[in-house]
Amino acid sequence: MFPAEIAQIGGSPRNTYRTWIGYFHEDEEEKGFLLARHLISAARAPARAHRGDTASETVRVVGVGGDTTWYGSALRERGLQRAVDADPAATLLQTVPTRWTPTEGREMTTRLMDRYTDISVIWAASDQLALGAVDAVRARGETPGETVFTGGLDLSLVGLQAVAQGDLTATVAASPLAWAQILIYVYDYLHGIDFAARMGTEIFIPPETATRSTAPQLIQERERYDEIDYRRYSRHYRGADAQDLIGAPGR
């Protein structure tokens, strides 16, 4: 839902429309920030010492952004800029828009690498864009995860697999289990147990950063989602002692 649309329907849940019970969304700026911070940190790591790099060397960053018609793209890029501004060793050269396809990720990364030398971080606004960027990095003779560090913003299965293999350095987004928790809140609400007193009506879903050390476990967990008894986390079924599935989302 776009900010302008929110204003048109009352600005907040349960204000104009009683059946609009809550607004649940991810913190897009924080996702962009966490990914950029992790990539910049990785680019400064001792693993690059074989190229003669030092911790004080400038980390040259480019961004492969998303579709500018979606407001979340600007928020993700704001997070990228915030991470660069917070690190005196990092500089953001340019961010280019796309329409989310891997082909554009590859093509835009190729153009950026033609335009700028010594790029060490390619921040991508989605896992699909990041995978396209990896193709371009390899075509240039660079090694993903060693000489150029790339990541995306989806926490998708394909993204997790690429992180586990070392092609991507990280992927960041809310866990699917966080959205399962939201569905539990809604289910309980429909059974007379309102989440608003405890959680409020506007809930941010916290992002999670998957790295090479954590991605394999996250992949294994996804294979077991169907085995979870979600009733254990419902106050309708378990009463006030029911615990949240992965920890309560933020207000």
pLDDT in tens, 154-184: 999 999 999 999 999 999 999 999 999 999 9
pLDDT in tens, 132-149: 999 999 999 999 999 999
Contacts of 201 (CB under 8 A, 6+ apart): 12, 13, 14, 21, 22, 23
Calculate what percentage of the chain has a pLDDT beyond 70.
Answer: 94
Task: Please answer whether residues 129 and 62 qualify as being in contact, where contact means their C-beta atoms are separated by less than 8 angstroms.
Answer: no
Environment class of 1 (CB within 10 Å of its CB; exposed 0-12, middle 13-18, buried 19+): exposed
28-173 folds as: Rossmann fold (3.40.50)
Extract long-range pairs of 149-152: CB within 8 Å, 24+ residues apart: 149/39, 149/42, 149/43, 149/120, 149/121, 149/122, 150/39, 150/121, 150/122, 150/123, 150/124, 151/35, 151/38, 151/39, 151/123, 151/124, 152/35, 152/124, 152/125, 152/126, 152/127, 152/128
pLDDT number for residue 7? 85
CB contact set of 176 (below 8 Å; sequence gap of 6+): 155, 222, 225
Is 133 within 8 Å of 167 (Cβ atoms)?
A: no
Q: How confident is the model at residue 128 (pLDDT cuts 50, 70, 90)?
A: very high
Task: Report residue 52's pLDDT band, with 50, 70 and 90 as the boundaries.
Answer: low
**Residue-averaged pLDDT of the chain:** 92
What pLDDT shows up at residue 47?
Answer: 39
Rounded-to-integer distance, Cα 60 and Cα 122, Å: 9
Q: In the chain, what are the domain boundaries?
A: 3-26+175-241, 28-173
**Euclidean distance between CA atoms 87 and 182, whole angstroms:** 35
CA–CA distance, 168 with 176 (Å, rounded to integer): 20
Going by the DSSP 8-state scheme, the letter that residue 50 receives in this structure is G
**pLDDT tens profile 28-42:** 999 999 999 999 999
